[in-house]
Amino acid sequence: MILRRWMAAGLVAVATAGVLNAVPATAQRPYDPTAQSLRALGQRHGLYVGTAVDMAALNDAAEPRYREIVRDEFSTVTAENVMKWESLEPTRGTYDWSAADELVATARRNGQKVRGHVLVWHSQLPKWLTDGVADGSIDNTELRSILRQHITTVASRYRGKIWQWDVVNEAVSDPWDTPSTLHYKGFWAEHLGPGYVADAFRWARAADPTALLFYNDYNIEAFGSGDPANDKTQFVYDMVKGLLARGVPIDGVGSQGHLGTQYGNYDTLQVADALHRFAGLGLSTAFTEVDVRSRLTDGVQAGDSEEINPRLQASAANFHVLLQACLAEPRCLSFTVWGFTDRHSWVPGTFDDPPQGLATIYDENYQPKRAYQVMKADLIYAGPPYVRMRATPKPRR
């Protein structure tokens, strides 16, 4: 009996060897980096490559490619909408965790990290909250305790499951806002004053000791807008420096990276300089919402390649600038695109007069665009001494 089993095993071994030997040498191809995913290539540098996830698209039976690309190409995911306050607590006191839980579970199955987005933002707040403040039934003292409760509830539920939390989002105005000098803007600053920023980080840290806590904003890709008084990046730099000096537990600054090919934008050295300066404060950084939109002129919409090609190339060039700068700074931990396909991008729905689009790295039919190839090349053709492994931070207490 034992002998027979041994012989059977031997036969299998011989048969297997035969099959292996039968593979022609030409079929054993050398390692081809261009065939690797973005997530695999990012791993060479310890860099996480991510996307925002639209849960409706992820759950759409007719969209298998959406799910496959999320799973295969990315090592970190962000909820595009379902972790925002209006989604989590549409009715006061009643939380609906279903979609956010599902994203976290999907990420776990896919071996992905999760960027939590977002604990405090002036947009996408529930109506009961904004109405209550507007009609005076919620005063500022109660508002502060509601905010504390919200941060505590959400950060506690996902304790240990979130890699980076966007604790405070877009708290700073733009130079074209009123007043034209930079200031703290929006619902929270109006009602609670700028001190809510430090409070939010402290409350988030108390609820989750392991997540990296980020301040997240747009138009902070580089310093030097000309007038130092109107330099948003400088304002954010001074703000986070001040928070650190006061012992506030902030770990990083997220630079969203929403760019447009119609603007001047930046070169790699300007962006790398900004990341280095934030790193100099002892902070991590991340690109958190990258996309590069273009005007959809009549020519573009009519399929005129003379109008489309320059836009695709300019878009790719901007993805390249941000990714190359991130690679150059070891404290730049992740590079997340805000949706990966033009089929499900927030851009056309938001910028419709004049129409804009073409902002992502895959087209509407899930074909990789020039921007995708450029990102791959950036990840492949980079290494020491100027591109090093990421520096793993410890959450600040």
Residue 289 annotated to the active site = yes
Structure tokens given for 329: 């700074």
Tell me: does residue 356 bind ligand G3I (CB under 6 A).
Answer: no
Tell me: does residue 287 bind ligand G3I (CB under 6 A).
Answer: no
- Least separation, in Å, of the C-beta of 356 and ligand G3I? 12
Residue 170 annotated to the active site = yes
The residue from 75, 233, 256, 318 that contacts ligand G3I (CB under 6 A) is: 256
Give the integer Cα–Cα distance in Å for 349 and 355.
9
Give the integer Cα–Cα distance in Å for 276 and 397.
23
- The full length of the chain comes to 397
- Least separation, in Å, of the C-beta of 78 and ligand G3I? 9
Residue nearest to ligand G3I (CB): 346
Query: Which residues are CB-contacts of 32 (< 8 A; sequence separation ≥ 6)?
Result: none
Tell me: does residue 123 bind ligand G3I (CB under 6 A).
Answer: yes
Tell me: does residue 112 bind ligand G3I (CB under 6 A).
Answer: no
Please provide the distance, in angstroms rounded to a whole number, between the alpha carbons at the two ends of the chain: 64
Transcribe 323-367 into DSSP letters.
HHHHHH-TTEEEEEES-SBGGG-SHHHH-BTTBEE--SSB-TTS-
Please give the residues from 62 up to 91 whose contact with ligand G3I meets the rule CB under 6 A.
80-81
Residues 185 and 120 sit within 8 Å (Cβ to Cβ) = no
Q: How far is CA 218 from the centre of its chain?
A: 12
Q: Which of 261/336 has CB closer to ligand G3I?
A: 336
Total chain residues near ligand G3I (CB under 6 A) = 8
Q: Which of 216/379 has CB closer to ligand G3I?
A: 216
Tell me: does residue 124 bind ligand G3I (CB under 6 A).
Answer: yes
Tell me: does residue 289 bind ligand G3I (CB under 6 A).
Answer: yes
In the set 170, 190, 221, 307, the catalytic residue is: 170
Tell me: does residue 305 bind ligand G3I (CB under 6 A).
Answer: no
Please give the residues from 165 up to 224 whose contact with ligand G3I meets the rule CB under 6 A.
169
Q: Which of 59/124 has CB closer to ligand G3I?
A: 124
Query: Which residues are CB-contacts of 322 (< 8 A; sequence separation ≥ 6)?
Result: 221, 257, 259, 271, 287, 290, 335
Give the integer Cα–Cα distance in Å for 121 and 119.
7
Let me know the angle formed at the C-alpha of 86 by 102 and 101, rounded to the nearest 5 degrees. Answer: 10
Tell me: does residue 346 bind ligand G3I (CB under 6 A).
Answer: yes
Q: Which of 76/169 has CB closer to ligand G3I?
A: 169
Binding interface with ligand G3I (CB under 6 A): 80-81, 123-124, 169, 256, 289, 346
Residues belonging to the active site: 170, 289
